[in-house]
Structure formats: C-alpha cells, structure tokens
C-alpha cells in the first residue's frame, strides 16, 4: 500500500500556477496529507485536533512542499 494518495505522480497547480521543484525543475508530484502535530496536543493525546497540511513530493528528487489546507 502506498503512503501517497495516488500511485502515479501528476502535475500540480497552486493558485493557478504550475508547481515546479526548485531543486530539479521537475513538474510531477505525489500527494499526501500530513498532520501538523504540536507538543501540547500530543502531550494531552489531542493530536486529532491539530491542523493538517497537503504535501506534494517531487517524483524525481523527493523534495517536499507543504501547504496548509484552507
């Protein structure tokens, strides 16, 4: 089972602009959701209350972009 929401990398647009990896100039990315845990919430077992982010991982060099969900 893949940790990514799609098994094939795809082009991504953010605010109408094509996402490009700043390291290798690639235009294909895997995506996944990640939780932004805080020490306080984790201490009280409230990790579910933390915000989430969408991560786009470059299919070539694996550079990761993080975007807060709206």
E strands, 1-70, are: 13-14, 17-18, 29-35, 52-58, 64-68
pLDDT in tens, 15-42: 999 999 999 999 999 999 876 655 564 5
pLDDT given for residue 52 in this prediction:
78
pLDDT at 41: 47
Top pLDDT among 50 and 22 is at 22
CA–CA separation, 10 and 57 (whole Å): 10
Question: How far is Cα 27 from Cα 40, in angstroms, rounded to an integer?
Answer: 37
Handedness of CA 17, 23, 29, 32 (dihedral sign): negative
52 within 8 A of 35, measured Cβ to Cβ: yes
Domains and CATH numbers, the chain: 13-68 (2.20.25)
The lowest-confidence range among 16-25, 46-55, 58-67 is 46-55
Average pLDDT, the chain: 81
């Amino acid at each position: 089972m893949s940790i990514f929401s799609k098994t094939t990398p795809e082009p991504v647009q953010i605010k109408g602009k094509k996402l490009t990896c700043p390291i290798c100039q690639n235009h294909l990315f895997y995506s996944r959701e990640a939780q932004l845990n805080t020490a306080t919430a984790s201490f009280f077992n409230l990790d579910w209350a933390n915000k989430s982010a969408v991560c786009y991982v470059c299919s070539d060099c694996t550079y990761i972009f993080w975007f807060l969900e709206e």
